[in-house]
Structure 1
Amino acid sequence: MIKISIAQINPIVGDITYNSKVILENVRKARDEGANMLITPELSLTGYPPEDLLLRDGFIEKVDYEIKNLKKLVNDVSSEIIVVVGHPILDQKNNYLINAASVLLSGKIIGNYGKIELPNYSVFDEKRYFQSGKTSCVFKYKDINFGINICEDIWFSKAPKMAKDSGAQVLIVLNASPFCVGKHKERMKVVKENIAKIQLPVIFCNMVGGQDDLIFDGNSFFADENGKLLKKAKQFEEDFISLSINNEIKIESVKIESCEDEITQIFNALVLGTQDFVKKNGFNKVILGLSGGIDSALTLAIAVHALGSQNVEAVMMPSKFTSRQSFIDAKACSNNLGVSLQVIPIENLMKEFDKSLLECFTGFSNDLTEENIQSRIRGVLLMALSNKKKSLLLTTGNKSEIAVGYCTLYGDMCGGYSLLKDVFKTQVYDLAKYLNRVARKEFKQLPIPTSIIEKKPSAELNFNQFDQDSLPPYELLDKILHGFIENNLSYTQLVNFGYPHDAVKKVLNLVRISEFKRRQSAPGARITKSSFGRDWRYPVSNRFSYNGDV
């Protein structure tokens, strides 16, 4: 019997020494549990994606040093355990990089594999850095031949077939496969289809953790030659799982960790993304503006889940336009979540701005300018508190608002991390209701007061102002945006779906003219295939009409 362990780890991009220590800790665990082999994720030594760090000679030199050091340290732990490590390799002869996996045993590297299928779409830019591998890598351990693939390889038939043709009896797949809604099901479907063609059991090791806008969900697994799931690791958590293979290439089947429903997955992804962005960037605490509205309330709740209430501070900055109910709601929300609420009125600051600009604004009537000044006053105050308290400022806008520019540059867009950047407004309501349902089941206080969920959304930058004065109802807006952004539908296709042509035309135009805001926005957790980050690369200066106008 061969006992194989998967180390579903959360590396830190660029911290090669730390990542090496994490790998070594898992080697010790594998040894202590009697495992013969340990698999780590794609580029586990560097973290994924290292991006242009790969273009720095010093970075590659550090990787080369650490992999040589690691093989010695692994041997000190056990000379009999095989460890498969993902890292970039410089092909000295041809002077290019390979996205590779090395097989360590007895203080030596007994095999190297270069990733063949290099993704260069959506969030991936691997052809910018790497050249494709040319050959398979198969190594023998206790009379069983193991082949290696890396991530994208398993999405196509070429690399798995090359491994099988080279004698592989079990396929090891190292992954850094990022999360989006529905990704695990899609991943399993593709793996099952390609594995069924070659009839090899699969050991699928995926990364977990947040890296800037990307979230890696884990969900590592063992599957038989037909793609049947035999064991699965946890989702959105580091994990360590093991299974045994006998000489007839049969893998024991054990309990499988289930996947949560969609809304729970989104919530857990946002929590993990927030937690890792804050901590990996050297912060311990966060701060945010709490308006009494649903976006800031949900942001506060997620931040508390990610970091603990003691590490979260909320600030309310009321003006003459702030309703009494918003004040009540903000206090209730912060109290329910155990977060301190600081109140800084901005009325006097607004008057000072009015006074300073009076002469310059003579002859002009009040318009959006005065509304935006309020938002920017709040942005300045929050950034000042962020600087002084060394707390990361979270911005609270959602995907619907960011899509159509219903946000103020250098105002409510101020912040280092945009938690809800890929969450549509209707999903914000779904998440708020979800959190309250969970609280009810656990007999806890509702994190988000019902009054916040039920009231009409408003920026409260003017009297009797509501979002729907400027935008279509969010139920309609989100359907149009989802069709245009997620499904790449045209104006004509959206109208043919039955959406009002005036609303479609307005929304698509707002999306186009708001690109300059999105280009300057903070990064945020990616939960869809079309987030406003690596997936979205539209020009700022752009006269192409999405409405079909010539």
Structure 2
Amino acid sequence: MKSLRIAAVALNQTPLDWRGNLARASEAIEAARRAGATLVCLPELCLSGYGCEDAFYAPHVRRRTLDSLAALLPTTQGVGAVVGLPLEVEGRLYNAAACIADGVLLGFTLKQFLADDGIHYEPRWFKPWPRGKVATISACGLSVLAGDLLYDLAGVRLGIEICRDAWVADRPANGYAARGVTLAMNPSASHFAFGKQAIRRRLVTEGSRLIDGPYLYTNLLGNESGRALYEGGTLIAQRDTLTHQGPRFVFGDRTLTVVDVDVADSPTKTKPGDTIISAAWQRSPADAEKLNPHSPPQAAWETGDAVVYEEFSRAVSLALHDYRRKCRAEGFVLSLSGGADSAAVASLVWLIGRLSGDPATLETVYQATSNSGTVTRDAARAVATAVGATHHEWDVQDLVERYTGLAAAAVGHPLTWETDDLALQNIQSRVRSPGVWMLANLRRALLLTTGNRSEAAVGYATMDGDTSGGYAPIAGVSKRFVLDWLQWMETVGPAGVGPLPALAAINAQQPTAELRPPGAGQTDEADLMPYAVLDEIERSAIGDLDATERTLERLQARFPEHAPEQLAAWLERFDRLWRASQWKRERLAPSLHLDVLSVDPKTWRRWPILSGE
């Protein structure tokens, strides 16, 4: 039995940022060495970035990634490291993990199972590697092995699963014990979704049980490429017990979890057909006293009743922070309507400062028309004051009237609410766009949109109006979720931050677009349907792809208080609006994947722009 100090690193990388990605990887290895670690694991594809998309096809991307790997080799004097990168083998591209030790490139383990569901499109770029196969390639000026490899590192037999490899029933770790593996590592790029960390904890614990030894898991961190958020949360399990979890949703370049583990000696015999690469080096000495024998595998906020709200708060605020930083904007601009959605976005920007200690600059604008009321005006002002925004109040009614007059002259008759309802609503939203865009340009700021997933599903938005902006932070969650989160934010708030009482002015209202005259009594649910019904239809028809008959059965079982005829009418309305609105979803600002469900056609559920029964 050997005492070994190992390190798990979460890195905040950016696709194709060659110098930055290499520097952060090098600094992480050096930090692990200073902590006395013998072996360190970095995330999947961290040298190139996970989200390179079709840039993976470019030969220069593969060449520059290998250049980065060659530059990384000297940093591993006295330490072994596993680091992810794309790799061409025999004319095909693979998702690889390089194993390097003491400045020497030992070999490449290639991913056997590719992520091809949900938001994943790995088979578009990579091929799965066959189990048991090994090839010889040229890399970094050396002839090295690549494929299904094991490593004997100073007497420790190491096996590597790459992210999705651990999520399938026939995972490589199933046979690791028989192959003499005494330590397993998993470099991952596993995107955030509500509740997903619990699954990772189970898989890591299971991996440890399968090898009867330590299992180490790493992940990316932050908003890497715009649409997927990685929360870090490195994990280490020892003999069927999860002992360590690194912090999640950290604002910074990396997290480092260093642990002392007991590892069985490598067996003297090998299984026929196994390819084992051996390396010996002077391991960095560990402190006499063992480090971190056990730590809480979860933060306190992860064990309460409001985990989903805590995760949402931390995930989106981190995503906003990184998106602004990586697109080099100097702050945020927001059209603050005094309603729930824009108040939620303002609150999330406020949370950046509360959670990171580095407040973000926010400038807000309330843009009134003759249909705006004092309730929303006062609510917008109260929220802006509470979150520390620079707030403006503009009256845009004259712009509405001028455009209405121009259009009336063009069609040859006055426009009325009885005959031109939709056009009269949309023009109010559209005239609010140019001014707030101009303010964002002048401030060199990122303009945020405020649409939620429910609105995107049914097209309840004005293109080039309230959809204007560069990022859509809440488009991954439903309207019902937004309303419930705002109630929680008003009274509880994230652990270590607390509530935002000014949201009471928002929560006291019934959601409304406030585009029809005040006497019309316009509300979102009257325009559409109850949000609970809309959510259930989305889950069934879009999430599960149920036929109309099956969706209606689910609605009748879930909502017996509504007449079957009414449920059928709402379902027909959803279906009609969903099909008519795909072109809108294609044009929405980039949004963050947060939930199992999504309507973003670029990351989850694709649909034809034109469709029918």
Supply the RMSD in Å over aligned alpha carbons: 2.2
Counterpart mapping for 1:28-107 below 5 A: 28-72=30-74, 74-75=75-76, 79-91=77-89, 94-107=90-103
CA distance in 1 between counterparts of 2:124 and 2:495 reads 49
One-letter identity of the residue aligned with 2:234: S
Deviations 1:351-399 (A, max 9, x none): 2112222221324633211211111111122222222221111000111
TM-score, normalised to structure 1's length?
0.92
One-letter identity of the residue aligned with 1:519: E
What's 1:22 paired with? Answer: 24
What's 2:271 paired with? Answer: none
CA distance in 1 between counterparts of 2:206 and 2:35 reads 33
C-alpha spacing 1:246/1:187, structure 2 compared with 1 (3 Å)? closer
Cα offset, 1:470, TM superposition: 1.1
C-alpha spacing 1:481/1:200, structure 2 compared with 1 (3 Å)? same
Counterpart mapping for 1:39-438 below 5 A: 39-72=41-74, 74-75=75-76, 79-91=77-89, 94-134=90-130, 135-156=147-168, 157-161=170-174, 163-193=176-206, 196-210=209-223, 211-226=225-240, 228-237=241-250, 238-248=254-264, 252-258=293-299, 259=302, 261-306=307-352, 311-363=361-413, 365-438=419-492
Cα offset, 1:111, TM superposition: 2.2
CA distance in 2 between counterparts of 1:51 and 1:456 reads 42
Further displaced range: 318-327 or 215-224 = 215-224
State the secondary structure of the residue aligned to 2:411: coil
What's 2:610 paired with? Answer: 541
What's 2:534 paired with? Answer: 477
CA distance in 1 between counterparts of 2:598 and 2:321 reads 19
What's 2:136 paired with? Answer: none
Further displaced range: 367-376 or 350-359 = 350-359
One-letter identity of the residue aligned with 1:367: D
State the secondary structure of the residue aligned to 1:381: helix
CA distance in 2 between counterparts of 1:13 and 1:450 reads 41
- The reply on whether 1:527 has 2:594 as its aligned counterpart is yes
CA distance in 1 between counterparts of 2:122 and 2:176 reads 22
What's 1:503 paired with? Answer: 570
CA distance in 2 between counterparts of 1:98 and 1:248 reads 31
Contact (CA 8 Å) 1:153, 1:159: kept in 2 or not?
yes
Deviations 1:124-149 (A, max 9, x none): 11112112234422212232111111
Further displaced range: 459-468 or 17-26 = 459-468
One-letter identity of the residue aligned with 1:71: L
Contact (CA 8 Å) 1:440, 1:446: kept in 2 or not?
no
Contact (CA 8 Å) 2:513, 2:523: kept in 1 or not?
yes
C-alpha spacing 1:458/1:152, structure 2 compared with 1 (3 Å)? same
What's 2:563 paired with? Answer: none
C-alpha spacing 1:123/1:449, structure 2 compared with 1 (3 Å)? closer
What's 1:548 paired with? Answer: none
CA distance in 2 between counterparts of 1:31 and 1:309 reads 33
What's 2:510 paired with? Answer: 456
Structure 2's unaligned 5+ residue stretches are 131-146, 266-289, 560-566
State the secondary structure of the residue aligned to 1:460: coil
Further displaced range: 303-312 or 397-406 = 303-312
Contact (CA 8 Å) 2:349, 2:360: kept in 1 or not?
no
What's 2:583 paired with? Answer: 516
Cα offset, 1:160, TM superposition: 1.9
State the secondary structure of the residue aligned to 1:359: helix
Contact (CA 8 Å) 1:298, 1:448: kept in 2 or not?
no
One-letter identity of the residue aligned with 1:90: E
Structure 1's unaligned 5+ residue stretches are 545-550
Deviations 1:59-100 (A, max 9, x none): 22211111111112x04xxx2111111111122xx2222211
C-alpha spacing 1:295/1:96, structure 2 compared with 1 (3 Å)? same
C-alpha spacing 1:89/1:529, structure 2 compared with 1 (3 Å)? same
One-letter identity of the residue aligned with 1:89: L
Q: What percentage of aligned pairs have identical amino acids? A: 25
CA distance in 1 between counterparts of 2:379 and 2:259 reads 51
Further displaced range: 155-164 or 382-391 = 155-164
CA distance in 2 between counterparts of 1:125 and 1:443 reads 37
One-letter identity of the residue aligned with 1:505: E
Contact (CA 8 Å) 2:489, 2:503: kept in 1 or not?
no
Cα offset, 1:423, TM superposition: 1.1
Cα offset, 1:483, TM superposition: 3.3
C-alpha spacing 1:133/1:443, structure 2 compared with 1 (3 Å)? closer
CA distance in 2 between counterparts of 1:185 and 1:22 reads 28
